[in-house]
Structure 1
Amino acid sequence: MYLLGYDVGSSSIKASLIEADGGKLISSATSPSKELEISAPEPGWAEQDPETWWTHVVKATKQIVSESGINTSNIEAIGISYQMHGLVLVDENNKSLRPSIIWCDGRAVDIGQQAFEELGEDYCLEHFLNSPGNFTASKLKWVKENEPDVYKKTSKFMLPGDYIAMKMSGDIATTTSGLSEGIFWDFKSNGLADQVLEHYGLSKDLVPEVHPNMAEHGELSAAAAEELGLSKGIKISYRAGDQPNNALSLNVLNPGEVASTAGTSGVIYGVTDKPLHDDQSRVNTFVHVNHTKDNPSYGVLLCVNGTGIQYSWLRNTLLNGTSYSYDDMNEMAAKVPIGAEGISVLPFGNGPERPLANKDLGGRINGIQFNRHNTGHVIRAAQEGIAFALNYGLQIMKEMGMEIETVRVGHTNMFLSPVFAEAFTNVTGKVVEMYNTDGSIGAAIGAGIGAGIYKERSNAFAGLKKVKTQAPESELVNAYSDAYEHWHNELEKAL
Structure 2
Amino acid sequence: MERYVLGIDLGTSAVKVSCLDHSGKIIDQEKENYPVYNSAEGFCEQNPNDWVQGTLEAIKKIMIKIRNLAKIDGISFSGQMHSLVILDKNKEIIRPAILWNDGRTATEAKYINENFGKKIVEITGNKATAGFTLPKLLWLQKNEPNNFARIRYFMMPKDYVRYKMTGKINTDYSDATGTIMLDIAHDCWSNEILNFFKVPRYYCPELVNSTDFIGFPLHEVCGKTGLNQDAKIFAGGGDNAVAAIGSGILNSQNILCSIGTSGVVLADEKSPHTPYEGTLQMEHHAIPEHFYSMGVTLAAGESLSWFKNTFFPQKSFSDLLSMAQESNLGADKLFFTPYINGERTPYSDSFIRGSFTGISNTSTKNDFCRAVIEGITYSLQDLISIYEQNNKTIYNIISIGGGAKSKFWLKLQADVFGKNIVALKNEQGPGIGAAMIAAMGCRWFKDWNSCINVFVKYNEIIAPDPHNTALYQKYYHLYHKIYNSIAPLARAATRL
- TM-score, length basis structure 1: 0.93
Please state if 1:477 is matched with 2:473. Answer: no
Question: Identical aligned pairs, as a percentage?
Answer: 26
Q: What residue number does 2:293 align with?
A: 300
Distance verdict in 2 for CA 1:51–1:8, change over 3 Å: same
Q: What residue number does 2:385 align with?
A: 395
Q: What residue number does 1:493 align with?
A: 485
Please tell me the residue identity of whatever aligns with 1:299: Y
Question: Aligned with 1:356: secondary structure?
Answer: coil
Please state if 1:152 is matched with 2:166. Answer: no
Match of 2:420 among 404, 407, 431: 431
Q: Does structure 2 retain, via aligned residues, the 8 Å contact 1:423–1:480?
A: no
Distance verdict in 2 for CA 1:313–1:93, change over 3 Å: same
Cα deviation, 1:24-64, whole Å, max 9, x if unaligned, reads: 110001112xxx33212222111111011111112211221
5+ residue gaps, structure 1, are none
Q: Does structure 2 retain, via aligned residues, the 8 Å contact 1:222–1:233?
A: no
Deviates further, 401-410 or 281-290? 401-410
Cα drift, residue 471 of structure 1: 1.3
Q: Separation in 2 of the partners of 1:304 and 1:364?
A: 15
Q: Separation in 2 of the partners of 1:429 and 1:120?
A: 37
Cα drift, residue 144 of structure 1: 2.1
Distance verdict in 2 for CA 1:50–1:149, change over 3 Å: same
Match of 1:380 among 356, 359, 370: 370
Cα deviation, 1:139-169, whole Å, max 9, x if unaligned, reads: 1121122212212221100001111110110
Cα drift, residue 71 of structure 1: 4.5
Cα deviation, 1:339-358, whole Å, max 9, x if unaligned, reads: 00011000111244232123
Q: Separation in 2 of the partners of 1:352 and 1:193?
A: 27
Q: What residue number does 2:18 align with?
A: 16
Deviates further, 169-178 or 37-46? 37-46
Q: What residue number does 2:355 align with?
A: 364
Q: Separation in 1 of the partners of 2:458 and 2:252?
A: 20
Distance verdict in 2 for CA 1:200–1:401, change over 3 Å: farther
Q: Separation in 2 of the partners of 1:51 and 1:386?
A: 32
Please tell me the residue identity of whatever aligns with 2:51: W
Match of 2:302 among 285, 299, 309: 309
Deviates further, 300-309 or 274-283? 274-283
Q: Separation in 2 of the partners of 1:279 and 1:26?
A: 41
Distance verdict in 2 for CA 1:197–1:401, change over 3 Å: farther
Q: Does structure 1 retain, via aligned residues, the 8 Å contact 2:417–2:469?
A: no
5+ residue gaps, structure 2, are 488-496
Please state if 1:258 is matched with 2:255. Answer: yes
Please state if 1:217 is matched with 2:214. Answer: yes
Question: Aligned with 2:236: secondary structure?
Answer: strand
Q: Separation in 2 of the partners of 1:450 and 1:110?
A: 41
Q: Separation in 2 of the partners of 1:393 and 1:128?
A: 20
Please tell me the residue identity of whatever aligns with 1:58: L
Question: Aligned with 2:250: secondary structure?
Answer: coil
Cα deviation, 1:101-131, whole Å, max 9, x if unaligned, reads: 010011222212212221222x222221112
Cα drift, residue 257 of structure 1: 3.6
Q: Separation in 2 of the partners of 1:139 and 1:380?
A: 35
Matched ranges for 1:234-383 at <5 A: 234-254=231-251, 256-277=253-274, 281-292=278-289, 297-320=290-313, 322=314, 324-369=315-360, 371-383=361-373
Question: Aligned with 2:378: secondary structure?
Answer: helix
Cα drift, residue 250 of structure 1: 1.0
Q: What residue number does 1:113 align with?
A: 110
Q: What residue number does 1:463 align with?
A: 455
Please state if 1:132 is matched with 2:125. Answer: no
Q: Separation in 2 of the partners of 1:67 and 1:463?
A: 22
Between the two proteins, the alignment pairs up a number of residues equal to 481
Please tell me the residue identity of whatever aligns with 1:456: D
Q: What residue number does 1:89 align with?
A: 86
Please tell me the residue identity of whatever aligns with 1:451: C
Cα drift, residue 280 of structure 1: 6.3
Distance verdict in 2 for CA 1:380–1:25, change over 3 Å: same
Q: Separation in 2 of the partners of 1:188 and 1:9?
A: 28
Cα drift, residue 277 of structure 1: 4.8
Please tell me the residue identity of whatever aligns with 1:23: G
Cα drift, residue 430 of structure 1: 1.6
Q: What residue number does 2:493 align with?
A: none
Please state if 1:142 is matched with 2:134. Answer: no
Q: What residue number does 2:57 align with?
A: 59
Distance verdict in 2 for CA 1:421–1:491, change over 3 Å: farther
Q: Separation in 2 of the partners of 1:445 and 1:368?
A: 47
Cα deviation, 1:442-492, whole Å, max 9, x if unaligned, reads: 211111112322213344231322123111111211121122122223233
Q: Does structure 2 retain, via aligned residues, the 8 Å contact 1:255–1:272?
A: no
Q: What residue number does 1:50 align with?
A: 48
Q: Does structure 2 retain, via aligned residues, the 8 Å contact 1:81–1:440?
A: yes
Q: What residue number does 2:164 align with?
A: 167
Please tell me the residue identity of whatever aligns with 2:301: G
Question: Aligned with 2:76: secondary structure?
Answer: strand
Please tell me the residue identity of whatever aligns with 1:374: T
Cα deviation, 1:310-341, whole Å, max 9, x if unaligned, reads: 11112222102x2x222211111111111000
Please state if 1:39 is matched with 2:40. Answer: no
Q: Does structure 2 retain, via aligned residues, the 8 Å contact 1:432–1:470?
A: yes
Q: Separation in 2 of the partners of 1:460 and 1:209?
A: 28
Q: Separation in 2 of the partners of 1:48 and 1:312?
A: 18
